Chains A and B, each alone.
Chain A
Amino acid sequence: MKTKQLIGKVGMYVFLSLFLVVSIFPFYWMLIGSTNSSDKMFAFPPTLLPGGEFWTNLSNLDASVGIWRVLFNSLYVSGLYVVLALAVSTMAAYAFAKFEFRGRNVIFTIFILSMMIPYQATIIPLFQMMTDYGLLNSYFSLIAPQLCYPFAIFLMRQNFVAFPTELLEAARLDGAGEWRIFTSIVLPSMKPALAATSIFLFMYQWNNFMWPLVAIRTPEMYTFPVALSTLSGVSFTDYGQMMVGISIATIPIMIFFLALQKHFVSGMLGSAVK
């Protein structure tokens, strides 16, 4: 019995370690690639140590896509999106959680069901709409369409539901206005939920690809994913600069995740699990 248990335990660690290597190795290869010249990645035997070509690759990348401008676009669009989308979804979620009003259940159900509709079913009319109003290739066109993000509303609502209604009643008896109750009593206690939802919204916009690919027509408006995808497909691909681009798109979010992983996981899960 003892040996059987031991074998089981060893087997478990072997399996997990194998999976660990598979999970981590591409990231390691990304670092190797971004610090070596393109041909080193395909040399035999392969270079498995970081090299000194990072700055060369970075300046090549900048020459190809204007990386600082792209970085600014992505940060600006994602940052502004988080602030606005958070405001929209927090307000709606609070109403859905703590008020009874006509149409509440119908509207909430429609929001939730709309999450099942593939995004691609909306993209063509959105494109026509932006074209008609001359809004194509603008920050507005990147930010506006997803400002009402039902998953964020759902996430925030679960947290508001848990807020004690008696506290709201007490504040009303004291004569506090509804808006003041919302902003100075309810919201301050929602910081973890707000953090989780922000992370979620930020990742969504930072990684968004298909819509920016369609809506953005000129390189100086490119966001990160769009700029990265233009690097491949040409006759000669400089993999060193592509790896630097992949690193810049990946590492900040990774650090963000490692620093805030508790919020991150709960944000991702929402209350789907309860």
Chain B
Amino acid sequence: MNRSKPFPYLLIAPAVLLFAVFTAYPIVASLLLSFQKKVGATYEFVGLDNYVRLLNDSIFWQALENTFIIFIFQVPIMLFLAMCLASLLNSQLLKLKGFFRVSFFLPAVTSLVAYSLLFSIILQDNGILNTIVGVFGIGPIPWLSDPFWAKVSIIIAMIWRWTGYNMVLFLAALQNVPEEMYEAASIDGAGKIRQFFSITIPSLKPILLFAGILSTIGTLQLFDEPFNLTQGGPADSTMTLGLYIYENGFEYFDFSYGSAVAYVVVVLVAILSFIQFKFTGDKS
């Protein structure tokens, strides 16, 4: 290690400078903005006015509720599916592992806008998915035109997009679990399902926390999908906090109010990440 010479400072200078201007400053500025209001051409401090307004804003509460409903269903289902897939792909009995792994990961390389639009076509009332479920005598289901099903559609689309991504995370972690643990469990008479719950899940704990927090941040900022798949509708049933920030900031140009909503998201991410840290009980 090299001490107190200018070289390392030169190396970090561009990153620090860019970070200060384009990340640190905006984070602070939008916090300040959330306590201000535009009066004429200037901004004035108005204390908590924007936050008080939030409390009485039914669309905000709707957006908060929608975001949470999507979060509560999408994240656990996706992580559980990803764990199942990862433990199957980790099994020594399976052939064509590489093929399955690559195929399951493919959705994760598509752009959020592209897959949202793709799903908006698949999920039309007379689209291919209704044709397919129609073969089994179901439907047609109003995927995008009914408040309940519109949320389901977003959840399904997100599960499609992200399960393979999380599966690869878990798969990498599972490779560090010695095969002998499973063999010993087998000899002790533990079935496959028992092994999944008492070996696979515990050994995935640290990476589960990582994936959980990533998904929390992602879901709370949810924007591309509702913007392109459902346009927040019908009747605000898929309005999310991310979409509401955009609408306030760049459709009504109410920067202060938009910033207040953004800071609600910041606080929620902090709280939920903290809970997950506690929940997984990882002391490091």
How many chain-B residues does the 8 Å CB contact rule pick out?
Answer: 91
Q: How far is the CA of A126 from the CA of B12 in the complex (A)?
A: 22
Chain A residues near B137 (CB, 8 Å)?
A: none
Task: Say if the beta carbon of B77 comes within 8 Å of chain A.
Answer: no
In the A-B complex, the 4 residue pairs with the smallest Cβ-Cβ separation, listed nearest first, are A122-B26, A99-B8, A92-B15, A125-B29
- Assess A249 versus B94: contact at CB under 8 Å? Given A129-B26, A148-B19, A273-B169: no
Chain A residues near B79 (CB, 8 Å)?
A: none
Task: Say if the beta carbon of A161 comes within 8 Å of chain B.
Answer: no
Q: Determine if B112 and A207 form an interchain contact, defined as CB atoms under 8 angstroms apart.
A: yes
Q: Determine if A101 and B102 form an interchain contact, defined as CB atoms under 8 angstroms apart.
A: no
Q: How far is the CA of A253 from the CA of B119 in the complex (A)?
A: 19
Q: Determine if B245 and A120 form an interchain contact, defined as CB atoms under 8 angstroms apart.
A: yes
Task: Say if the beta carbon of B75 comes within 8 Å of chain A.
Answer: no
B242, closest chain A residue (CB): A120
Seen from chain A, the residues whose Cβ lies within 8 Å of a Cβ on chain B are 8-9, 12, 15-16, 19-20, 22-24, 26-27, 29-30, 33, 41-42, 44-46, 87-89, 91-92, 94-96, 98-102, 104, 107, 110-111, 114, 116-129, 144-148, 150, 153, 165, 178-179, 182, 203, 206-207, 209-210, 213-214, 224-225, 228-229, 231-233, 239, 242-243, 245-246, 249-250, 253-254, 256-258, 261, 264-265, 268-269, 272-273
> Which of B30, B126, B223 is the one whose CB lies under 8 Å from A210?
B223
Task: Say if the beta carbon of B182 comes within 8 Å of chain A.
Answer: no
Task: Say if the beta carbon of B111 comes within 8 Å of chain A.
Answer: yes
Q: Kindly specify which of B44-52, B53-61, B147-155, B160-168 makes contact with the partner chain.
A: B160-168
Q: Determine if B250 and A127 form an interchain contact, defined as CB atoms under 8 angstroms apart.
A: yes
A49 CB to closest chain B CB (Å) equals: 13
A41, closest chain B residue (CB): B121
Q: Determine if A33 and B117 form an interchain contact, defined as CB atoms under 8 angstroms apart.
A: no
B150-202 contacts to A (CB < 8 Å): 160, 164-165, 168-169, 172-173, 176, 192
Chain B residues near A242 (CB, 8 Å)?
A: 117, 121
Q: Determine if B118 and A253 form an interchain contact, defined as CB atoms under 8 angstroms apart.
A: no
- Assess A29 versus B128: contact at CB under 8 Å? Given A9-B93, A117-B27, A122-B30: yes
